[in-house]
Amino acid sequence: MSPAAAGSSSSSVSARGATRADDGLARALAAIVGERRVLERPGELRAYESDGLPGYQQRPSLAVFPGTRDETIAVVRLFAERGVRFVPRGAGTGLSGGALADDIVLLGLHRLRRIVSIDAENCRAVV
């Protein structure tokens, strides 16, 4: 998955249009992950408007936090079906603004904390 915005690159629909014109997106996401795991209010989204570089801020239009592999797959499938652009975020400690979603959807992955395997040689962990 690219750290940059992913999704339908051929769509002429802007990220703003893809999320706001689609009133059912938050509801469809909530059906997958539960209502508490979908944030829409500006006040709630403030926590995700910067990474480890707090001087640079971009607020997402919506944030979703799947808790399992299957939920993550279902959420990303939904984004692909609807042409919704998104940015994945881990702990948000990057220092280059790569985890900021500028008025597009933030896919928060910090709930995926169960370590399945660690490949130290290749610096790879499966969670």
Ligand X SMILES: Cc1cc2nc3c(=O)[nH]c(=O)nc-3n(C[C@H](O)[C@H](O)[C@H](O)COP(=O)(O)OP(=O)(O)OC[C@H]3O[C@@H](n4cnc5c(N)ncnc54)[C@H](O)[C@@H]3O)c2cc1C
Q: Under a CB-based contact definition with an 8 Å cutoff, are residues 33 and 25 in contact?
A: no
User: Does 68 participate in binding ligand X (rule CB under 6 A)?
Assistant: no
One residue of 91, 118, 125, 126 binding ligand X per CB under 6 A: 91
Strand partners, 124: 119
* Helix/strand/coil (H/E/C) assignment for every residue in 23-76: CCHHHHHHHHHCHHHEECCHHHHHHHCCCCCCCCCCCCCEEECCCCHHHHHHHH
Smallest distance, Å, CB 83 to ligand X? 19
Residues 6 to 65 in contact with ligand X, rule: CB under 6 A: 51-52
Shortest distance (Å) from residue 10 CB to ligand X: 21
Using the rule CB under 6 A, which residue among 13, 58, 98, 102 binds ligand X?
Answer: 98
Q: Which range of residues in 15-23, 38-46, 54-62, 95-103 is near ligand X by CB under 6 A?
A: 95-103
Amino acid identity at 104: I
Identify the residue among 3, 17, 34, 42 touching ligand X (CB under 6 A).
3
Between 95 and 116, name the residue whose CB sits nearer to ligand X. 95
Closest CA to 6 of 94, 90, 101: 101
Our finding on whether 92 is near ligand X (CB under 6 A) is yes
User: Residues 50, 56: contact at Cβ < 8 Å?
Assistant: yes
Q: Would you tell me which residues interact with ligand X (CB under 6 A)?
A: 1, 3, 51-52, 87-95, 98-99, 109
